[in-house]
A and B are shown apart, each in its own frame.
Chain A
Amino acid sequence: MDSTADPKGKRPLYQEDGLAYARAAAAAASATAAAAPDEEEAKPKPKPSSSSEEAKPEPEAEDQAEMPPLVLVAEDGVEVSISRRAARMSHMLRLLMEDSCADGPIPAPNVHSDILDLVVQYCEKHGPYYDPEASERARNPFPPFPVELTPTVSSIKPVTYVDPDPHGLKDWDKDFISLDNSTLFEVILAANYLNIEDLLDLGTTTVADMMRGKKPEEIREIFEIENDYTPEQEAELRKENAWAFED
């Protein structure tokens, strides 16, 4: 399968490799960790979750708050811990937790620890309010209007007032994502590897907004793309798409 051609346009890179790799590595790591002393001695040993709970991650959230955080290992060997509640935001980590492969260190081989810190920061901030279904609905550009809004009876008042951002997450996201380009790209790649849809959306939308309105030369500079057109070819293309260059 062509790794860049996902027809839904959702994920730029192929996912399966990352998950399988992480699972295998995590399983191997847990096997060796059992022999070595646990670094987090203060925390209680994780209880084996019963199989009935594993199918439903939502009610498990309460339990997970008490379970020890996951440990991610960045490419530079630095360990970054992430609470289980925050880890839910990553589809990959969620699956590892469900399969009980998340007890030992989990490798994130392509991600530098600084970037991993940022990603974990995002997940910790959004984790407590994360609802996978609401997130999915919001991602649809033409969402069917939420039916749970109940119309009120009163006259002049607006019928539906739902504070769209009760926890101030939008503003926080805006500050969070104002990063320099290379860091931003790294965060997007990390969010892609860990399969954190919301962060991926935030990152890609930010890049898209940054690209809008720019000239071809500027795009080449930002993304280090070589211009493989001859001057004549480029002039021809500009003429063909003249309307796009008008303001």
Chain B
Amino acid sequence: MMLSLISFDILSRIPVKSLCRFRCVSKELYALIADPWFLAAHKSRTEPLLIVGSRQDSSLRLIDMDGSVVKVIGDVGSVCELICTSRDNLACVMTHTGDVKVIDLANGEVLVTLQWKDGLWGFGHTIPSNVYKVVYINGDTYEILTVGDSAGWRKMQLPPTSNISYCTIPVVVNGVLHLMLTSQFDGNSVLSFNLANEEWNKGIKCPPSVDLQKCDPELRELNNSLCMVQPVFQGYDRWTDIWLLTNPDKSTWVKIYAIPLDSSSFSRLIPLRLSCDDRKLLFCDTRESTNISKAQIYDSSRWRCGDAPKALDGAHDTNFSRCSLHLESFVLGKS
């Protein structure tokens, strides 16, 4: 009986969709897949998926790294903006009709619907309790809402400075919400807000060559770390520097890529995933002129951008991000 081979080690490397099928194999396998220890081991190992929201077909598509569509969540509404990061199994979607919805990716259920208002929106989960919160910032208004809590919007602790940049969206990484400042405060250029205890942490300095007065860097999440995307101009050359925050306490950044961009049109570059073994970067490039988003892979060994799998082709107005399907959502069922 070779079942002993199908152990934590092997099963924990198998994606969620296949595991859900394997629950039908035998009772023993069913029990193993539902085991809390296994669920935790699987969660720590599982590769995040790509989530694509489009304006046209009002759906969210979850796509794995081979380019196959794992799940489609329909009837979401025409997607304008998508906030979701690698470890999130809920996504915050803003539609063109002015809704802000928090959607459970496991079953497509809309957990919260809010009215969109102008300002900065942040969304993410706390560590370690995995409670999701929505943050809204505009001028003097700082509000926070816990998903699942009927209390609705609550006042949030005010930040140490109000020099917040409205040009870049806030990003939640590892339970901390990060905001870009327009000018340095106390030597820091990034403010951090801990979602769990709802307090502002000490800030983070910018990478050394980033000058806030000269350019608008953007904050993103890449491979579960904070990432700064900085457009650089030098004469006729344009490229994008991508920095990864390796140590938040010491504000240590490492420049991992300098990607040459077509200098004939302005582009917004969103890094999606860094493949650690071959150093390829999957990113999404949106031409401002046409609003067409294209997923591409930058191969640093060949210094060129290649096309990503077909399933990632975006038409107009497509939003790309990362997400996770947590096995426990399927196995434990709704409580």
Task: Give the B-binding residues of A (Cβ under 8 A).
Answer: 4-13, 138, 141-145, 147, 149, 151, 155-164, 170, 185, 188-189, 200, 204-205, 207-208, 211-216, 219-220, 223-229, 234, 237-238, 241, 243-245
With an 8 A cutoff between CB atoms, is B151 at the interface? Answer: no
Q: Is the CB of B13 within 8 A of A241?
A: no
- With both chains docked as a complex, state the minimum distance between the C-beta of A221 and any C-beta of chain B, in angstroms: 10
Question: Which secondary structure characterizes the binding site on chain A?
Answer: loop
Complex Cα gap A164–B233 (Å): 30
Complex Cα gap A185–B2 (Å): 9
Q: Is the CB of B246 within 8 A of A6?
A: no
Task: Give the A-binding residues of B (Cβ under 8 A).
Answer: 1-15, 17-18, 20-30, 35, 37-38, 40-42, 44-47, 71, 223-225, 232, 234, 237, 239, 241, 244, 246-247, 252, 254-260, 274, 276-279, 300-301, 303, 330
Residue of A7, A220, A241, A245 touching B41 (CB-CB under 8 A): A7
Q: Is the CB of A211 within 8 A of B14?
A: yes
- With both chains docked as a complex, state the minimum distance between the C-beta of A228 and any C-beta of chain B, in angstroms: 5
Q: Is the CB of B244 within 8 A of A145?
A: yes
- With both chains docked as a complex, state the minimum distance between the C-beta of A115 and any C-beta of chain B, in angstroms: 14
- With both chains docked as a complex, state the minimum distance between the C-beta of B235 and any C-beta of chain A, in angstroms: 9
Q: CB-CB < 8 A to B4: which residues of A?
A: 4, 12-13
Complex Cα gap A57–B7 (Å): 31
In the complex formed, the residue of B with least CB distance to A205 is B13
Q: Is the CB of A237 within 8 A of B11?
A: no
Complex Cα gap A229–B256 (Å): 51
Given A160-B256, A200-B9, A241-B21, A144 contacting B303 (CB threshold 8 A): no
Q: Is the CB of B8 within 8 A of A6?
A: yes
Q: Is the CB of A229 within 8 A of B2?
A: no
Q: CB-CB < 8 A to B7: which residues of A?
A: 4, 12-13
Q: CB-CB < 8 A to B260: which residues of A?
A: 156
Q: Is the CB of B254 within 8 A of A244?
A: no
Residue of A12, A155, A219 touching B9 (CB-CB under 8 A): A12
Q: CB-CB < 8 A to B239: which residues of A?
A: 155-156
Q: Is the CB of A244 within 8 A of B15?
A: no
Q: Is the CB of A227 within 8 A of B5?
A: no
State the 7 A-B residue pairs at the shortest beta-carbon distance, nearest first: A12-B7, A9-B41, A244-B20, A208-B13, A158-B300, A9-B8, A151-B255
Q: Is the CB of A141 within 8 A of B258?
A: no
Q: Is the CB of B25 within 8 A of A189?
A: no
Q: CB-CB < 8 A to B28: which residues of A?
A: 225, 228
Given A9-B38, A141-B47, A161-B300, A155 contacting B26 (CB threshold 8 A): no
Complex Cα gap A10–B247 (Å): 27
In the complex formed, the residue of A with least CB distance to B1 is A224
Given A156-B239, A161-B301, A205-B13, A223 contacting B22 (CB threshold 8 A): no
Q: Is the CB of A212 within 8 A of B256?
A: no
Q: Is the CB of B303 within 8 A of A245?
A: no
A157, A162, A208: most-surrounded residue (chain B CB, <10 A): A208
Complex Cα gap A96–B155 (Å): 62
Q: CB-CB < 8 A to A9: which residues of B?
A: 8-9, 12, 38, 41-42, 44-45
